């Protein structure tokens, strides 16, 4: 999980744990998120589009290339270049219901595993 707003990050972390998932993060910056990805494999990700240091484009690209399901959330909308590059990604506008986000991510993970 990459989220730089502490209350949103806590809410998401609790929703992930309540759903039986294990939280990797939260990462408040792209630099921190990349370090977490180097150290820990992930099966799905919820990413805030804009973190403390920059947009998460490089993280999304890496996860997508690795076949990891990704959901983006944003308070200001998806930048045009990201929308063009990732037209099929789920994007939610903040404030989002964390339980619904986690449910959507769980469904993406299930679908991916069923297709494998």
Distance CA 38, CA 63 (A): 12
Residue 116 has pLDDT above 80, yes or no: no
Question: pTM score, two decimals?
Answer: 0.94
CA distances from 38 to 7, 23, 76 (A): 25, 15, 29
pLDDT tens figures, 34-58: 999 999 999 999 999 999 999 999 9
Q: Which CATH superfamily, name and number, covers 6-111?
A: Response regulator (3.40.50.2300)
Q: Of 27, 24, 23, nearest to 15 (Cα)? A: 23
Quote the percentage of the chain above a pLDDT of 90: 85
- Are 102 and 73 in contact by the 8 Å Cβ rule? The answer is no
The mean pLDDT value for 63-88 works out to 91
What confidence category does residue 82 fall into, taking pLDDT thresholds of 50, 70 and 90? Answer: confident
What pLDDT sits at residue 11?
A: 96
Q: Which residues, 6 or more positions from 66, have their beta carbon under 8 angstroms from its beta carbon?
A: none
Q: What interhelical angle do 98-115 and 6-18 show, nearest 10?
A: 50
């Amino acid at each position: 999980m990459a989220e730089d707003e502490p209350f949103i990050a806590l809410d998401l972390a609790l929703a992930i744990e309540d759903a039986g998932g294990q939280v990797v993060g939260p990462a408040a910056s792209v630099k921190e998120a990349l370090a977490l990805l180097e150290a820990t494999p992930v099966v799905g990700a919820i990413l805030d589009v804009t973190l403390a240091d920059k947009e998460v484009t490089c993280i999304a690209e890496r996860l997508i290339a690795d076949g990891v399901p990704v959901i983006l959330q944003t308070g200001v909308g998806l930048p045009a270049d990201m929308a063009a590059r990732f037209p099929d990604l789920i994007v939610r506008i903040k404030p989002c219901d964390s339980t619904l986000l986690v449910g959507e991510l769980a469904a993406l993970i299930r679908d991916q595993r069923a297709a494998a």
